Amino acid sequence: MCGIAGIHPLAPAEPVCLEAVQHMVATLHHRGPDETGAYLFHDAAGSIGLGHARLSIIDLAGGQQPLSNEDGTLWISFNGEIFNYRELRPTLEADHQFATDSDTEVIVHLYETHGTDCLKFLNGQFVFAIWDERNHSLFVARDRVGIRPFFYTIHHNQLIFASEMKAILAVLPQPPQLDLTTLDQIFTTWSPLPPRTIFQGIQSLPPGHFMFVQNGQIAIEPYWQPEFPTEPLGQGLSLAETAVQLRHHLTEATRLRLRADVPVGAYLSGGLDSSTIAALLYHDIGQRLETFSIAFTDVAFDESSFQQQMATHLGTEHHVITCSHADVGRAFPDVIYHTETPILRTSPVPLFLLSDFVQKAGIKVVLTGEGADEFLGGYNIFKEALIRRFWAREPESALRPLLLKKLYRYVQNLDNPAYLAKFFGYRLTETAEPGYSHLLRWRNGARHRRLFTPDVLAHIGPEKPQPDLPLPLEFGRWSPLAQAQYLEIRIFLAEYLLSSQGDRMAMAHSIEGRFPFLDHNVVEFCNQLPPDFKLRGLNEKFILKVAVRDLLPAEIWQRPKRPYRAPIHHGFFPDGRPLDWVDDVLSPSKLAAAGIFNPLAVQALVSKQQRLGSLSEIDEMALAGILSTQLVHHHFVEGWGTAVAQQPTANQKIIQRGL
């Protein structure tokens, strides 16, 4: 895994400054500490500068970037892995001469042969930028579900892009401003809605899209999106036979993700998904990897007994790091430096600590279970929507809403039937709404608007009934579960889980995460399954349990779904008193400097925590959101212009052409 950066004037201009590209790359050192490279091209018709920070995984000796085709007319900077590069290479060797054994070079020759259609051949997690010297065009593409990030802005008629926004900020002439509309989205939907980011003028390339730039024109087009059946599936599908097919797809996806020239490990969370990957590695593939887990000192969050049971079952060399309340509070500022965006939970913190632990153990690559919940119906929000639809058939029923108590044992006051009915009965009978599954989440998120100053509220305008997220034309013909899955995939998965909690936490310590459940063959197979194969009653990921129950202890595959969570207010207010940095960012002067949150509302929240010693789920999310937003302002607005230390690099590669 790596970091990429670039500057491309959209009209003929002076050559791109090498020092600017190197400065961008320096901010990405954590993504690629092994090597750096820069490619600069300039002639009368166009210019570009490409930068690269390399984490060497495949072809350690020959894969340095930027890398070219055989005649030096195409140049690529690539972040990610193409897992099927060995299968693609033989057909390309008939027409192209390879100089390396890397997956990067396969992309270059595939683009030479197929143009933008090359994307349909790639099985991987990627963002890459290819510059064609012959026609002065730039081709950028991001993987189907958004595992790897890509950000860009246009400043003074220059396209500036990078794997992280801090690299873009490093070459802008003035501090960024927070995008208040995006902030409202984050507090409402839990993540930005693409292509917006928290910084004005900086956008993200949405998952499954490519960008083509030529003659000063930028075109962005989709090449993939999740698709679900528009008609009820026939009755001929056998659950048992389909489960065998799912296991085959997962096994092949896992096998492909073992390809590396460095050690590979696996995460064990104690749940079904990561246990499935570890079990497939051992039983179906014959690999026993080192496994890594997070334990919590707070028993409300700890799953270490299940992790250890699974490690013992497989006989893996197992490593555990324990996360305390103090660890959460201490690491949170560093976590936000890497997320670069406000978050409403602290769940990324333990993963940040875990990636540091894994890096120190000498591992560069880890396999994890992300994606199973989204594509196999694992989340409580899917069950919640199912129960609410069932309840909506008899809105006056006092018994039907009691089913919701099974989902949210950690939510206060659900033993009170009146509270339960009021809380979950919001827009209960509006089952035809496209966002019905997420209405409660968005309504509860919108309650956070009370925290904003009057100026912010005036800017963002009134609360919207639904987020501004374009929906496919076929959306209304999909099953209710498919509609809910689509929203979770496009909003939560890509913009939070794979970004703030995934890529950023692993790459903060130069660790590459790989996700067999997000193999596009697995994804497309799962999307075509009947809804009741995924969610049978309130039994989530049903077909996965059928597929792998012979590999796992019954205590693992039969245990109820437990969402991954981390402590919030106890990490920031140990013994009821705020940590020093918390006290600082919530001070009246810092709140006034940022100008986002109403000091009285913030003080009321802090006082409530100190008075009660606990907070509701919604208030805890508000606290995390306030603190993370203040830290984003601290790191990137107040701290803009802070010199980036030039990190020592084992090998630097600089190519200048056409100059």
Give tens-digit pLDDT for 616-640.
Answer: 889 999 999 999 999 999 999 999 8
Above 80 in pLDDT, residue 651? Answer: no
Structure tokens at 482: 């498919």
3-state secondary structure (DSSP) of residue 170: coil
Amino acid identity, residue 487? L
Q: Are 189 and 491 in contact (CB under 8 A)?
A: yes
How many residues are listed for the chain in this entry? 659
Triad 636, 637, 639: Cα angle to 5°: 65
Grouping H, G, I as helix, E, B as strand and the rest as coil, residue 221 is strand
Average pLDDT, the chain: 94
Cβ neighbour number for residue 643 with a 10 Å cutoff: 8
Q: Quick one: tokens of 258?
A: 């073992």
Dihedral sign from CA coordinates of 531, 536, 540, 545: negative
Tell me: pLDDT of 412 over 90.
no
Pairing of strands 209-214, 290-296: unpaired
CA distance 337 to 632: 7
Q: What is the pLDDT of residues 315-327, one digit of tens each?
A: 999 999 999 999 9
Phi, psi dihedrals of residue 197, rounded to the nearest 5°: -130, 175
Which tokens belong to 60? 């350690």
Higher pLDDT pick, 112 / 235 = 112
**pLDDT of 386 higher than 80:** yes
CA-to-CA dists, residue 374 to 175, 226, 490, 493, 508, angstroms: 37, 11, 10, 7, 25
CA 558 to CA 562: how far, in whole Å? 12
Read off the pLDDT of residues 484-512 as tens digits, 9 standing for 90 and up: 999 999 999 999 999 999 999 999 999 99
Q: What pTM, to 2 d.p., does this model score? A: 0.96
Q: Look up residue 31 and give its two tokens.
A: 């993504």
Residues 6+ apart with CB under 8 A from 613: 576
Residue 288: pLDDT band by 50, 70, 90 thresholds? confident
Q: Which of 240, 314, 218, 284 is nearest to 543 (CA)?
A: 240
Q: How far apart are CA 321 and CA 559, in angstroms?
A: 23
The pLDDT of residue 643 is above 70: no
pLDDT digits (tens, 9 = 90+) for 69-95: 999 999 999 999 999 999 999 999 999
Highest mean pLDDT among 49-63, 208-222, 391-405 belongs to 208-222
Closest CA to 13 of 45, 50, 49, 51: 45
Q: Is the dihedral of CA 84, 150, 207, 92 positive or negative?
A: negative
| pLDDT greater than 90 at residue 415 | no
What is the per-residue pLDDT for 233? 73
Per-residue pLDDT at 558 exceeds 70: yes
Identify the helix (H) or strand (E) that includes residue 554. helix 554-557
Kindly report which listed range (26-40, 135-149, 555-569) carries the lowest average pLDDT score.
555-569
- Confidence band, pLDDT 50/70/90 cuts, at residue 647: low
pLDDT at 237: 77
pLDDT tens by residue, 160-186? 999 999 999 999 999 999 999 999 999
CA dist., res. 215 & res. 45, Å (int): 9
**Cα–Cα distance, 489 to 206 (Å, whole number):** 12
How far is the C-alpha of 569 from the C-alpha of 580, rounded, in Å? Answer: 14
What average pLDDT does the segment 298-303 reach? 94
b/e burial code for range 6-42 (CB count within 10 A of at least 16 → b): bbbbbeeeebbeeebbbbbbbbbbbbbbbbbbbbbbb
234-259: average pLDDT: 92
CB 278 within 8 A of CB 258: no
In this prediction, residue 413 carries a pLDDT of: 67
The answer to whether 9 and 157 are in contact (CB under 8 A) is yes
Q: Which among 50, 61, 59, 55 has a CA at the least distance from the CA of 25?
A: 50
Which residue in 4, 29, 27, 13 sits closest to 169, CA to CA? 27
Contact between residue 381 and residue 484 where contact means Cβ atoms under 8 Å apart: yes
Amino acid identity of 54?
A: R
pLDDT of 560 reads 85
Given pLDDT bands bounded at 50, 70 and 90, which one contains residue 641?
A: confident
Please determine, for residue 576, whether its predicted confidence score (pLDDT) is greater than 90.
no
Using an 8 Å Cβ cutoff, are 563 and 380 in contact?
A: yes
Domains of the chain: 2-224 (3.60.20.10), 226-649 (3.40.50.620)
Residue 418: predicted pLDDT: 81
Segment 210-239, tens digit of pLDDT: 999 999 999 999 999 999 999 877 667 799
Torsion of CA 301, 302, 306, 310, to 10 degrees: 110
CA pair distance 82, 63, nearest whole angstrom: 13
Q: How much is the pLDDT for 658? A: 86
Q: Residues of 557-593 as b/e, b for ≥16 C-beta within 10 angstroms?
A: beeebbebbbbbbbbbbeeeebbebbeebbeeebbee
Q: Specify the DSSP element, H or E, that contains 267.
A: strand 264-267
| pLDDT digit string, tens, across residues 264-276 | 999 999 999 999 9
Residue recorded with tokens 């002067």:
589
pLDDT tens string 436-478: 999 999 999 999 999 999 999 999 999 988 888 889 999 999 9
Closest CA to 179 of 545, 427, 586, 456: 456
Whether 541 contacts 395, CB under 8 Å? no
pLDDT for res 614: 87
